[in-house]
Copies of this chain bind each other. A is one copy, B any other.
Amino acid sequence: MSERKRRGSTVERYIVNRLTAKGFACLRAPASGSKRKQPVPDIVALKDGVIIIIEVKSRASEENIYVNRDQAEGITKFSERSGGELFLAIKSPSGIRFLDFSKLRQTRGGNFVADKNLISSGMSLEDLVRHVESKLVKKLDLFA
Protein backbone atom coordinates (compact mmCIF):
# COMPACT_ATOMS: atom_id res chain seq x y z
CA MET A 1 0.00 0.00 0.00
CA SER A 2 1.39 3.41 -0.92
CA GLU A 3 2.18 5.99 1.75
CA ARG A 4 -0.64 8.17 0.42
CA LYS A 5 -3.21 5.37 0.60
CA ARG A 6 -2.04 4.33 4.05
CA ARG A 7 -2.45 7.91 5.28
CA GLY A 8 -5.91 8.15 3.71
CA SER A 9 -6.94 4.94 5.39
CA THR A 10 -5.80 6.22 8.78
CA VAL A 11 -7.90 9.37 8.34
CA GLU A 12 -10.92 7.29 7.29
CA ARG A 13 -10.62 5.15 10.42
CA TYR A 14 -10.28 8.27 12.58
CA ILE A 15 -13.44 9.82 11.09
CA VAL A 16 -15.37 6.55 11.44
CA ASN A 17 -14.30 6.17 15.06
CA ARG A 18 -15.25 9.76 15.94
CA LEU A 19 -18.65 9.58 14.21
CA THR A 20 -19.35 6.17 15.75
CA ALA A 21 -18.66 7.70 19.18
CA LYS A 22 -21.31 10.32 18.29
CA GLY A 23 -23.94 7.66 17.61
CA PHE A 24 -23.53 7.16 13.87
CA ALA A 25 -23.53 3.84 12.02
CA CYS A 26 -20.55 4.01 9.66
CA LEU A 27 -19.38 1.77 6.86
CA ARG A 28 -16.05 2.21 5.08
CA ALA A 29 -15.65 1.18 1.47
CA PRO A 30 -13.38 -1.76 0.70
CA ALA A 31 -9.78 -0.66 0.06
CA SER A 32 -9.57 1.19 -3.21
CA GLY A 33 -7.82 -0.67 -5.96
CA SER A 34 -10.33 -3.50 -5.82
CA LYS A 35 -12.07 -4.25 -9.09
CA ARG A 36 -14.88 -1.76 -9.01
CA LYS A 37 -16.88 -0.82 -12.04
CA GLN A 38 -17.90 2.50 -10.61
CA PRO A 39 -16.32 4.68 -7.93
CA VAL A 40 -17.92 4.51 -4.51
CA PRO A 41 -17.30 6.97 -1.67
CA ASP A 42 -14.93 6.20 1.19
CA ILE A 43 -17.48 6.35 4.01
CA VAL A 44 -21.24 6.14 4.45
CA ALA A 45 -22.34 7.56 7.83
CA LEU A 46 -25.95 7.07 8.94
CA LYS A 47 -27.90 8.40 11.88
CA ASP A 48 -31.64 7.99 12.49
CA GLY A 49 -32.42 8.10 8.79
CA VAL A 50 -29.97 10.86 7.85
CA ILE A 51 -27.48 9.81 5.17
CA ILE A 52 -24.02 11.38 4.96
CA ILE A 53 -21.64 10.37 2.16
CA ILE A 54 -17.96 11.20 2.72
CA GLU A 55 -14.98 11.18 0.38
CA VAL A 56 -11.67 11.60 2.20
CA LYS A 57 -8.56 13.41 0.94
CA SER A 58 -5.37 13.85 2.87
CA ARG A 59 -2.65 16.38 2.14
CA ALA A 60 0.70 17.07 3.71
CA SER A 61 0.57 20.85 3.26
CA GLU A 62 -2.07 23.54 2.76
CA GLU A 63 -2.35 23.31 -1.03
CA ASN A 64 -5.53 23.08 -3.15
CA ILE A 65 -7.28 19.71 -3.36
CA TYR A 66 -8.35 18.19 -6.67
CA VAL A 67 -10.93 15.49 -7.32
CA ASN A 68 -10.74 14.04 -10.81
CA ARG A 69 -13.82 14.07 -12.98
CA ASP A 70 -14.51 10.33 -13.03
CA GLN A 71 -14.29 10.05 -9.27
CA ALA A 72 -16.41 13.19 -8.78
CA GLU A 73 -19.10 11.86 -11.12
CA GLY A 74 -19.08 8.46 -9.41
CA ILE A 75 -19.50 9.76 -5.87
CA THR A 76 -21.99 12.46 -6.94
CA LYS A 77 -24.15 9.83 -8.63
CA PHE A 78 -23.88 7.58 -5.57
CA SER A 79 -24.94 10.45 -3.32
CA GLU A 80 -27.86 11.44 -5.55
CA ARG A 81 -29.18 7.87 -5.68
CA SER A 82 -28.87 7.56 -1.91
CA GLY A 83 -30.82 10.71 -1.16
CA GLY A 84 -27.98 11.76 1.16
CA GLU A 85 -25.57 14.67 1.39
CA LEU A 86 -22.08 14.49 -0.06
CA PHE A 87 -19.08 15.91 1.80
CA LEU A 88 -15.40 16.08 0.98
CA ALA A 89 -13.34 15.56 4.14
CA ILE A 90 -9.92 17.14 3.89
CA LYS A 91 -7.22 16.25 6.37
CA SER A 92 -4.36 18.72 6.43
CA PRO A 93 -1.76 19.60 9.06
CA SER A 94 -4.25 22.10 10.51
CA GLY A 95 -6.99 19.49 11.05
CA ILE A 96 -9.99 17.97 9.29
CA ARG A 97 -12.55 20.05 7.40
CA PHE A 98 -15.80 18.84 5.84
CA LEU A 99 -16.87 20.64 2.64
CA ASP A 100 -20.25 20.51 0.94
CA PHE A 101 -19.16 18.84 -2.29
CA SER A 102 -21.48 21.00 -4.41
CA LYS A 103 -19.39 24.04 -3.38
CA LEU A 104 -16.30 22.78 -5.24
CA ARG A 105 -15.39 24.61 -8.43
CA GLN A 106 -15.16 22.67 -11.69
CA THR A 107 -12.06 23.35 -13.78
CA ARG A 108 -12.05 23.60 -17.57
CA GLY A 109 -10.73 20.05 -17.74
CA GLY A 110 -13.81 18.84 -15.85
CA ASN A 111 -12.03 18.09 -12.59
CA PHE A 112 -13.10 19.63 -9.28
CA VAL A 113 -11.01 21.81 -7.02
CA ALA A 114 -11.27 22.98 -3.43
CA ASP A 115 -9.06 26.03 -2.90
CA LYS A 116 -7.62 27.24 0.39
CA ASN A 117 -10.46 29.65 1.14
CA LEU A 118 -13.13 27.03 0.60
CA ILE A 119 -11.22 24.52 2.70
CA SER A 120 -10.75 26.92 5.61
CA SER A 121 -14.49 27.71 5.51
CA GLY A 122 -15.34 24.00 5.91
CA MET A 123 -17.06 22.43 8.89
CA SER A 124 -15.26 20.76 11.73
CA LEU A 125 -16.34 17.26 12.71
CA GLU A 126 -18.36 18.75 15.56
CA ASP A 127 -20.06 21.11 13.08
CA LEU A 128 -20.96 18.13 10.89
CA VAL A 129 -22.49 16.30 13.85
CA ARG A 130 -24.51 19.41 14.77
CA HIS A 131 -25.62 19.75 11.14
CA VAL A 132 -26.96 16.18 11.16
CA GLU A 133 -28.63 16.65 14.52
CA SER A 134 -30.39 19.79 13.26
CA LYS A 135 -31.77 17.71 10.37
CA LEU A 136 -33.06 15.16 12.88
CA VAL A 137 -34.88 17.87 14.80
CA LYS A 138 -36.50 19.09 11.57
CA LYS A 139 -37.58 15.53 10.75
CA LEU A 140 -39.18 15.20 14.16
CA ASP A 141 -40.96 18.54 13.69
CA LEU A 142 -42.60 17.14 10.55
CA PHE A 143 -44.36 14.56 12.69
CA ALA A 144 -45.20 16.89 15.56
Are B81 and A23 within 8 A (Cβ)?
Answer: yes
Contact of A48 among B50, B83, B142 (CB under 8 A): B83
- Whether A49 lies near B81 (C-beta < 8 A) is no
**Residues of chain A at the chain B interface (Cβ within 8 Å):** 20, 23-31, 38, 40-41, 44, 46-51, 77-79, 81-84, 142
A24 to B142, Cβ gap below 8 A? no
Least Cβ–Cβ distance between A136 and chain B, in angstroms: 9
B44–A83 CB distance below 8 A: no
Q: How many copies does the complex hold?
A: 2
Q: Are A25 and B79 in contact (CB under 8 A)?
A: yes
Alpha-carbon distance between A54 and B46 when the two chains are bound, in angstroms: 14
Residues on B with beta carbons closer than 8 Å to the beta carbon of A79: 25
Q: How far is the CA of A29 from the CA of B29 in the complex (A)?
A: 6
Q: Which residues of B have CB within 8 Å of A26?
A: 40
Q: Which partner residue on chain B sits nearest A35 by CB separation?
A: B13
Q: Which residues of B contact A142 (CB under 8 A)?
A: 142
13 other contacts beyond A28-B29, A29-B30, with CB at 8 A cut-off?
A: A20-B38, A24-B81, A25-B77, A25-B81, A26-B40, A44-B44, A44-B46, A46-B83, A47-B83, A48-B83, A49-B49, A49-B83, A50-B83
